[in-house]
Structure 1
Amino acid sequence: MGEDLTKSSMKFFSDPQLCYADILPPSQVRARIQVAVLNFLKILTSPDPAISNLPLIDRKPSNRKVSEGILTDVSWIFLSHSVSSRSLMKSNAAKAFVRVWKVMEMCLQILEQNKKVTQRELFYKLLCDSPDYFSSQLQVNRTIQDVVALLRCSRHSLGIMASSRGIVAGRLYLQEPDQEVVDCAACGSSGYPISGDLNLLDKLAMETDARYIIVVEKHAIFQRLAEDRVFNQVPSILITASGYPDIATRFLLHRMSRSFPELPIFALVDWNPAGLAILCTYKFGSVGMGLEAYRYACNVKWLGLREADLRLIPEESFVPLKPRDLQIAKSLTSLELLQDNHRQELELMVQSGKRAEIEALYFHGYDYLGKYIAKKIVQADYI
């Protein structure tokens, strides 16, 4: 059984380098955890125990690869099968080694109880049960990624829900199983909150008469557009994760892209490296999520702000780039998938040393954003 599961977990897509995380039912996840424990115990009881390393898929940028979709415009970041390790014998890695087993133990309990927990809930449980090993949310988040990399199954399969900041509004009808239909255009500026339960999101029935999907970087801009009912001026669905995109928002956007493949997806982000990084996360995925990125990638086009829009913004509205901006720009420069025109815009940001935020367009009035979006969408240079 162990050998079959190991082979199953090592499967690849048509690209033999691509390493991915399976979506599995609880019974199979429990079996993988049990096999991992049995293998560990087998090594531990051998005449010459060699338990110093725990092999994991390497999540470093150096192990990052690029997949170009066949018969689709969607490309994504993925991780190859290069392996890193957590060491029990090195003092700086021993606790990380133990954390993997602690999280697997907790996930096994969650699955046996048929429960779902958020990463935050898991952190507090581990903080109480194992305070010597878990003192921060970041440690839990990284360990979850380790467990995904070890077992080759998605975090959702482990019983871990995605905490969601996402909301959606506009010309979209949603229906959860056995529930009333929700008209997202009638949800006001607050929008419809996106559930962190990916199983529920996967079962949503969706209908739309929109012609576009607009991804909005900021919550406040989303609220302005929803309050102005821009989705009636430009027949569209609005969606935001209120900053850097969480898994649930990316999952729903991906689902919409599959359900409504004829709808182009546009992103409205700040003209700065962070805005472009947010767009790229929706478009390609992220290195940290390399084993699952393909489940969330969408062909998102950059609507604005763009270099051509800077003439619309008064000089007083520009803000100097911060050190963090330059770090993000450096990371984006190394991204193989970055389109040439996007790379040129990034270089211009760095050369100019300044950034512009969407709110600067309010110089033309609070109702200007709708006009701006309508004009940009009909232009030919929005890609």
Structure 2
Amino acid sequence: MEDLGRSSMRFFSDQRICYADILPPNEARARIEVAVLNFLRILNSRDPAISSLPLVNRKWSNSRVSKGLLTDVSRIFLCRSFCIRSLMRVKATKAFVRVWKVMEMCFRILIQEKRVTQRELFYLLICDSPEYFSSQLEVNRTIQDVVALLQCSRYSLGIMASSRGIVAGRLLLQEPNQEVVDCSACGSSGYTISGDLNLIQTLILKTDARYIIVVEKHAIFQRLLEDGISNHIPSIIITAKGYPDIATRFLLHRMSSKFPGMPILALVDWNPAGLAILCTFKYGSIGMGLEAYRYACNVKWVGLRRDDLHLVPEQALIPLKPRDLQIAKSLMSSEVLQDEYREELASMIESGQRAEIEALFFHGYDYLGKYIAKKVVQANYI
């Protein structure tokens, strides 16, 4: 225990560490204990004071993009800039208390050797401290505050990822001591991805696929499977049904590590939201703060692209909405966006229009598979 305490004390004194560690429960508990002891030590000093909580700043201005020496994957990291939560600031008072409440609840969960989803944690907290928690968003933000303070992953704190993702195609999955699941036999429903990141980490993965295809929308995912895309193009198909959740990103990251060199191709709408989804898979998200880098993969944008707009009927083009322009502005201000993506985004803004994948059905319901096959050939992924 003494070594564990020393390790945690070194952690709190080392501001160079700006990523979230994956810790066993005993060390995660030790970091919470050290945070509490530091707080009490300041309160009981000769000049007692209410200490502030130094949190790694989770803003784009504090991010940088790092590219590995032996890989094409770029990832988002956070730099050595800190913000604080303090009782001395009126607007931050409740946020300060919420951090301690979430840490307390996580400590209980770890002691009981349990895991909870963010939604379950929300209900635990509103029942325990309704005066401090009124929405899921407050809980989600506070979880990120705790991650930024303790610099360990949410999973280390006993918080599971909620998963919307499904996977299908030429992939065999096997949980330890369980039967093999053939994802090609799951039909258009696919295999539901677990929110248990430890289970995803221990999955045995096998495939004879040559590509992984990431699809933005569930309806497109089902259409591709109904058209037998994984047989025509030997592939694994995966979707998060919109903005990617952690579990789906983690499984994709695991597959990219297990099958290095296998192209990961993204099929998203030609609009700012589609590009944001692709970038989240490719680089990680600043919203994930210190955990962003763990889920990055070298995803390639296969479509829709501006060169494909001639395939979309003019009447199927949709005007950009204010929300689209807001997302576009955020992406443009990010250093993570590579030049060709920035040009695509500029074209969207200049045209004032967006195109959705479903517009390709103008050429027939079976056209999407042909479109992907053509793009794969054009991109020299064969």
TM-score (structure 1 length as normaliser): 0.96
Number of residue-to-residue matches in the alignment: 378
Aligned-partner SS, 2:266: strand
Equivalent of residue 7 in structure 1, options 10, 26, 32? 10
Measured at CA, do residues 203 and 353 of structure 1 come closer, stay the same or move farther in structure 2, by a change above 3 Å?
Answer: same
Letter in 1 for 2:359: A
Matched, 1:128 2:127: yes
What's the CA shift string for 1:106-128, capped at 9, x where partnerless?
Answer: 00110111101000000001011
Confirm or deny: 8 A CA contact 1:212 1:237 kept in the other structure. Answer: yes
Aligned match of 2:218: 219
- CA drift of 1:44 comes to 1.1
Confirm or deny: 8 A CA contact 1:52 1:89 kept in the other structure. Answer: no
Aligned match of 2:320: 321
Unaligned segments of structure 2, at least 5 residues: none
Aligned match of 2:358: 359
1:152-163 equivalence runs, <5 A: 152-163=151-162
Residues in 2 aligned to 1:230 and 1:363: alpha-carbon distance in whole angstroms: 19
- CA drift of 1:289 comes to 1.4
- CA drift of 1:334 comes to 1.6
Aligned match of 1:304: 303
Aligned match of 2:294: 295
- CA drift of 1:52 comes to 4.4
Letter in 2 for 1:197: D
- CA drift of 1:333 comes to 0.8
Confirm or deny: 8 A CA contact 2:173 2:181 kept in the other structure. Answer: yes
Residues in 2 aligned to 1:3 and 1:92: alpha-carbon distance in whole angstroms: 34
Confirm or deny: 8 A CA contact 2:60 2:334 kept in the other structure. Answer: no
Aligned match of 2:198: 199
What's the CA shift string for 1:131-180, capped at 9, x where partnerless?
Answer: 00000000000000000011110000000000000000000000011111
Matched, 1:148 2:151: no
Confirm or deny: 8 A CA contact 1:11 1:19 kept in the other structure. Answer: no
Aligned-partner SS, 2:35: helix
- CA drift of 1:337 comes to 2.4
Identity of aligned residues (%): 74
Residues in 2 aligned to 1:130 and 1:240: alpha-carbon distance in whole angstroms: 36
Aligned match of 2:90: 91
Matched, 1:184 2:187: no
Aligned match of 1:59: 58
Cα RMSD, aligned residues only: 1.4
- CA drift of 1:9 comes to 5.5
Aligned-partner SS, 1:378: helix
Aligned match of 2:78: 79
Measured at CA, do residues 333 and 381 of structure 1 come closer, stay the same or move farther in structure 2, by a change above 3 Å?
Answer: farther
1:220-239 equivalence runs, <5 A: 220-239=219-238
- CA drift of 1:3 comes to 4.8
Confirm or deny: 8 A CA contact 1:68 1:76 kept in the other structure. Answer: yes
- CA drift of 1:288 comes to 1.7
Measured at CA, do residues 198 and 348 of structure 1 come closer, stay the same or move farther in structure 2, by a change above 3 Å?
Answer: same
Confirm or deny: 8 A CA contact 2:28 2:152 kept in the other structure. Answer: yes
Unaligned segments of structure 1, at least 5 residues: none
Letter in 1 for 2:153: S
Aligned-partner SS, 2:34: helix
Residues in 2 aligned to 1:272 and 1:241: alpha-carbon distance in whole angstroms: 17
Residues in 1 aligned to 2:91 and 2:378: alpha-carbon distance in whole angstroms: 54
Confirm or deny: 8 A CA contact 1:174 1:181 kept in the other structure. Answer: yes
Measured at CA, do residues 334 and 18 of structure 1 come closer, stay the same or move farther in structure 2, by a change above 3 Å?
Answer: farther
Residues in 2 aligned to 1:327 and 1:114: alpha-carbon distance in whole angstroms: 42
Aligned-partner SS, 2:287: coil
